[in-house]
Amino acid sequence: MGIALGADGCELRLDGVRYAWGAGGAGFRAAISPGADLRVRPTRSRLSSVAAVLAPVIDLIRLTREVDGLRRRGHAATADLADGRWRAAAEMDTERRRVERDLHDGTQHHLVALRMAVAVAEHDPRLLPTLSPRLDAAQESLVRTAAGILPPALAKGLVAALGAELAPHTDVRLDVSADLPRYPAPVETAVYFVCLEAVNNAHKHAVGAAIDVRLHPAPDGLHFSVRDNGPGFEVARTGTGNGLVNLTTRLTDIGGTVRVDSGLGNGTTIAGFIPT
């Protein structure tokens, strides 16, 4: 354009953006439209005519910019909507998994205990009155799980919660270090459910065995274990089943670990650690 005007410098200013060619300097100026003007140096020959011809071009450039801006905002809005849907789906899946774990690790414990009590009551009718409280406890656990509410006993701490839950089981002994401190709620909740699930597994697979639940602190975290003196099993051959998967998932979520040690005739130990 500058060459066509016979100039040695040409400058176009559009909405505060400067586009220049050739020699600098102010030169002669012609307005194209609001916010857009053309400057040439040193000649002003046909400058006004060229400016008038450029007006539709400038309008088209602006329209193209606006369309591009709308398109980018549309893409961003679409991406935000997709992200929102993805987050909602992820949150729903997380909640579903929470309910699944809590049912498996908590409520199932009550149901197994109730089933064992029913089996005993079949041979000793005097124990029938003890079934109602166990049934109530199982129902309460289901309601709490569905509502996402933690067991009330956990408000008093992990030791109190486990003590209240395991007290009816004469085959379970709770061994807690005297200097065990309180831990953050996610840690105490995870250990509570993992211990209950481990006790539940022992009741199912090592009937009549003595069960020891231990909690002891360390400078770098909390150690806990559930051990029974039952028949044990070969971990490599039998595997650990879905139960350990649930326990591992629950502990992994807060940076913990869990392992299973067992052997034929040697009982089974489920040991975990959570760094704090």
pLDDT of 34-75, one tens digit each?
888 777 766 666 666 666 667 787 778 888 888 888 888 888
Predicted pLDDT at 241: 60
Q: Where in the chain are all domains bearing CATH 3.30.565.10?
A: 156-276
Predicted pLDDT at 276: 82
Q: How far apart are CA 164 and CA 215, in angstroms?
A: 15
235 residue type, one letter: V
Higher pLDDT, 132 or 156: 156
Predicted pLDDT at 185: 84
Looking at the domain covering 156-276, what would its CATH class be?
A: alpha beta
Closest CA to 161 of 180, 147, 146, 143: 180
Q: pTM (2 decimals)? A: 0.52
Q: What are phi and psi of 258, to 5 degrees?
A: -145, 145
Is the model's pLDDT at 85 over the cut of 70?
no
Is the model's pLDDT at 238 over the cut of 60?
yes
Burial pattern 93-127, b for ≥16 Cβ within 10 A else e, equals eeeeeeeebbbbbbbbbbbbbbeebeeeeeeeeee
Predicted pLDDT at 9: 73
**Sheet order of strands, 268-275 included:** 172-176, 211-218, 221-228, 268-275, 257-262
pLDDT-derived band at 259, boundaries 50, 70, 90: very high
Lowest mean pLDDT of 17-26, 93-102, 263-272, name the range: 93-102
Predicted pLDDT at 103: 64
Predicted pLDDT at 109: 67
Mean pLDDT, to the nearest integer, of 7-28? Answer: 72
* Residue 53 Cα to chain centre, angstroms: 60
Q: Which position has the token pair 């060459």?
A: 3
